[in-house]
Amino acid sequence: MSTERLGARRALNPQALPFVMVHLACLAAIWTGVTWQALALCFGLYWLRIFAIGAGYHRLFSHKAFSTGRVFQFVLAFLAQTAAQNSVLWWAAQHRRHHLYSDTAEDPHSPRRQGFFYAHVGWIFDPKHAETDLVLVSDLAAFPELAWLDRFEHAPAVLTALACFLIAGWPGLVVGFLWSTVLVYHATFCINSLAHVLGKTRYVTGDDSRNNWALALFTMGEGWHNNHHAAQSSARQGFRWWEVDATYYILRALSWTGLVWDLKLPPERLLKGEQRLGARVIDRAAEQLAARFNPEPIARAIAAALQDPELVALQEALARDWRRASEALAAVRLPQMPSRDEILAGAIDMFAKTPSLDEIVDRAYDMLLTAVGARLAAVSSVSAS
């Protein structure tokens, strides 16, 4: 694609216009009326497409949480695309990016980074998300049928809308298709927004993912979001017996027929609270913990105290090499500098129980020492000049 065409496409942001039009078109029910037949279509299409998105777009295509044949794989992709949330390749690429950079600056939709509204719906209007990163979904793009669905991404939704019209007339189109489409939009988007703001955290995942039972009910299990971030490849997201996960129950039933197989489950060590965290999660959790202690006022307080003759060694260390500032700080007990025990107390208050807590605390302590040391070094340089 040429630079000119790519720029034009991004300027138009093709995801935004249909999204707005579908919402506005729902108001046409004022003129078409609402029939029981149309409401039945709305109800049925909502649950069918919520399942297709959760089982297909999310658990199969984004995370490979189970296996199936190419025919049923295509059926799931087709049904999910009837929800008008763009193609299977686009959706999976965005979601994989979300997990790679969850709640960091590179996350497509993080309430912590970009605000609640942007995470829920604003990112749809952002032109930087218009294109599909085929590098992230090269495994899916290798299937010709999925590549075909990517080229004709709106065809499944248009065919479904036409079927609703033929079954129940204008009310079928407006109430049956459009209303259910908007409901599926926002049910899905609530996982991006609310599930990173409201709920409980059982596992340390290095992000703000939460378990929310209410979201889980109307998304067929997707609301157990902290569970999911802790075990991303698991086909089961409700880990406890009382955590309702309707999508998993259906997949389990389908496995008895041989239509799907190899349903991955969360590791036993994770369920028992014995699984150690990976380096990426430890680093992200440590960043969250270190952020609780603002290095600026700490550095100012220490700089003021540097006039004390007993701290001459620290001053000399800062002057010699600012990169050794954190080591110098660690060697001198300063009342202005939070101790490791204080950081540990913050970690216990902030995080769920994990065998990797000491590693998180050590990493956070090192990050804080480095940040304070860099600011002290800067102050020393200014004073020396």
Q: Domain residue spans in the chain?
A: 3-271, 279-384
CA 95 to chain centre: 7
Instruction: Determine the Cα–Cα distance for residues 16 and 91; give it in Å rounded to an integer.
Output: 15
Whole-number pLDDT of residue 333: 58
What is the chain's mean pLDDT, rounded? 87
Tens digit of each residue's pLDDT (9 = 90 or more) over 102-127 = 999 999 999 999 999 999 998 988 88
Secondary structure element (H or E) that encloses residue 68, with its range: strand 67-68
Question: Where do we find the tokens 């990493």?
Answer: 363
Confidence label for 7 from pLDDT (cuts 50, 70 and 90): very low
Provide the whole-model pTM.
0.87
Q: Confidence band (pLDDT; 50, 70, 90) for 294?
A: confident
* Per-residue model confidence (pLDDT) at position 178: 98
pLDDT at 370: 78
Q: Half-sphere exposure (CA, 13 Å, Cβ side) for 23?
A: 7
More confident residue, 292 or 227: 227
Please name which of 375, 371, 376, 385 lies closest in space to residue 315, comparing C-alpha atoms: 376
Question: Can you say whether the dihedral through the CA atoms of 141, 146, 151, 157 is positive or negative?
Answer: negative
H or E stretch covering 296 = helix 295-305
